[in-house]
Homo-oligomer: A and B are copies of this chain.
Amino acid sequence: MTLEIQKNRTATKYSKKEQLLRVLWMLGGFFFRFSPRPFFGLRRSLLRLFGSQVGEKVNIYPSATIYFPWNLIIGDYSAIGEHALIYNLGPVEIGKNVTISHMAQVCAGTHDYTDPAMPLLKPMIVIEDNVWICTQAFVGPGISVKEGAVIGAGAVLTKSTEKWMVYAGNPAKPIKSRKLKKHNS
């Protein structure tokens, strides 16, 4: 038994349009990366220019990586922290009030390892409103993180979640429900 990686190498993985966008984003991404930290609006504009759907007051830090902006939807008041990686080879949809903490990875790409050519797959990820993906957590391909879920620090999530539950560990498991206090405003 052996793989046939040479077939993977010669496969067409991205459309001509996407290949062009990637080259242009090398340049756009440079401005993103070296933009001053408080210039969240500039980074929102850059992402929109490259095809992202970005809500109001979305705070994305300059050291975060949006791999393919054209595959990103992100809602109002969501945030993506320092050195986080949105590896959106496939579509990544993020709702409102979502926090993705520093160094977390949302990974919408994988390979079919049962195929000798290891073809690239790009399964969509959905992260619903009010979710918190903590630092160094990993959200795998094809997953839905349901409303209000918390994915703990360093957790490796390989299955979709329930709503308003807290997950931790590798592999991540539900450990308790998330109950919101009433606020006193």
Interface residues in chain A, defined as those with a beta carbon under 8 Å from any beta carbon in chain B: 1-7, 9, 57, 59, 77-79, 85, 87, 96-97, 99, 102-103, 105, 107, 110-111, 113-118, 129-130, 132, 134-136, 138, 140, 148, 150, 152-156, 158, 164, 166, 168-171, 178-181, 183, 185
Cα(A2)–Cα(B148), bound, Å: 8
Count of chain copies: 3
State the Cβ distance, A10 to closest chain B Cβ, in Å: 11
Cα(A118)–Cα(B133), bound, Å: 13
Which secondary structure characterizes the binding site on chain A? Answer: loop
Please state if A77 and B6 are interface contacts (CB–CB under 8 Å).
yes
Contacts of A87 in B (CB 8 A): 102, 135
Contacts of A99 in B (CB 8 A): 5, 111, 118
